[in-house]
Chains A and B, each alone.
Chain A
């Protein structure tokens, strides 16, 4: 705390990176499975599941936070079970990860599904006639051919995760050094009238997100043979 820069910027930045990074990893693994399962499916059930997977994109994050509290809060549906396993999500950085995961899930799901559906089905058919099961078709053909779209979704999700505010605030609270991410720290600084600090944090967040998205764009162009 004696080094002002450290407590002002580096600590919330570290929390943001850790929360967004972990949330992106979890959202990537789950969203890619959902996209794989729902790609090229028609009918009422896939349509409803697709709507559910997309819902976090259109609901206000505070509504998501509210639902999450109903699910994993102390008196929530799974609250007791989680407490019995020693998992404490309310007012912990792990809770912030859960909130961010739910918020960014549709970003990866949507782009992954579109990318998987744009893969030419002839390649997948060719793999099947060569003896590949569906899992192998996915890993060796569909995913490598769709990676560009999937990667774009992942980068977008990470950047969005860095800026997650509403759902995080409701579940993890705003505890400096523990659950206070960059976005929350900016809010606190602004509320406390520390304009310079708020400006500094806003600048760091913006620079990071611009750098991230530009870097992703460059990487995509560079890998384009």
Chain B
């Protein structure tokens, strides 16, 4: 479903290095995990896939759609990739309510007015995460777990072809982490949206299973034991 073959000079962080990411997630692979120590290029790779960062060279494609190809001069802008991206800190729009955040992909130029149909769609998505009652709140009024749910609801409400999550559970305490993990796994299966998550946590790897992309020493490749357990 996803083919990545890129190089990128990573100059942020303590030690600059050259990242070479080369892996193909097979068709029918529902979940994948980016696993590796911090500063190994996991987030950079995810942002390259999302279109928020440009690789130095190489190619990225999802199914038949080419996102990036340095030789062919293809560079599809992030807004046309139809990917859900949930960054580590969620990046909820602080000036918009939960409802306006979740409906964002379907509202007008100012994102303030939410039409009847868009409201129903957003409400339904909030319902799936059991947070309808938060629709009128602002992000700063929410707990960590609630923010996480809103961020996921916002990304999924845009009907992405693939959901990217950067350390989705790292900011949450252990009991909440376990509950949310199960909840999200089930929801993604229900909606039929494949996902990739970045994690340090072996429990995440176990729970989400699927393919494992290992980041180490400036390289990213598919782990040999990658099974298609779903």
Contacts and interface: CB of A to CB of B under 8 A. Distances in A.
Interface in A126-157: 126-133, 135-136, 139-141, 144-145
Contact of B105 (A120, A130, A133, A144): A130
A123 interface: yes
Contacts of A122: 87, 89, 91
The dominant DSSP class at the B interface is loop
B208 interface: no
B94 A130 contact: no
A128 B77 contact: yes
Interface residues of B, number: 29
B158 A126 contact: no
A128 B78 contact: yes
Interface pairs A-B: 7 shortest CB-CB: A140-B111, A126-B91, A128-B78, A129-B85, A122-B91, A130-B105, A144-B95
The dominant DSSP class at the A interface is helix
Interface of B: 50-52, 77-85, 87, 89, 91-95, 104-105, 107, 109-112, 154-155, 158
A131 B111 CA distance: 12
A129 B111 contact: no
Contact of A140 (B80, B94, B110, B154): B110
Quick one: which of B85, B89, B91 has the most chain A CB within 10 A? Answer: B91
A194 interface: no
A125 B95 contact: no
Given A125-B85, A131-B82, 11 more contacts: A123-B94, A125-B87, A126-B92, A127-B104, A128-B51, A129-B50, A129-B78, A129-B81, A130-B154, A140-B93, A140-B112
Contacts of A139: 109-110
Given A131-B82, A131-B158, A141-B93, A126 B87 contact: yes
A133 B79 contact: yes
B8 to A, nearest CB: 17
A126 B89 contact: no
B109 A125 contact: no
Contacts of B95: 144-145
Given A133-B79, A141-B93, A126 B109 contact: no
A97 B104 CA distance: 39
10 contacts: A125-B85, A126-B92, A129-B79, A131-B79, A131-B158, A135-B109, A136-B109, A140-B109, A140-B110, A144-B110
A145 B94 contact: yes
B29 to A, nearest CB: 21
A138 B61 CA distance: 28
A126 B85 contact: yes
A136 B83 CA distance: 18
Interface residues of A, number: 19
Interface in A71-105: none
A123 B91 contact: yes
A129 B93 contact: no
Nearest to B80: A131
Given A128-B78, A129-B83, A135-B109, A123 B52 contact: no
A16 to B, nearest CB: 33
Contact of B93 (A126, A131, A135, A136): A126
Contact of B79 (A120, A132, A141): A132
A120 B154 CA distance: 19
A145 B96 CA distance: 10
A31 B79 CA distance: 27
B94 A129 contact: no
A123 B50 CA distance: 14
B113 to A, nearest CB: 11
A77 B50 CA distance: 49
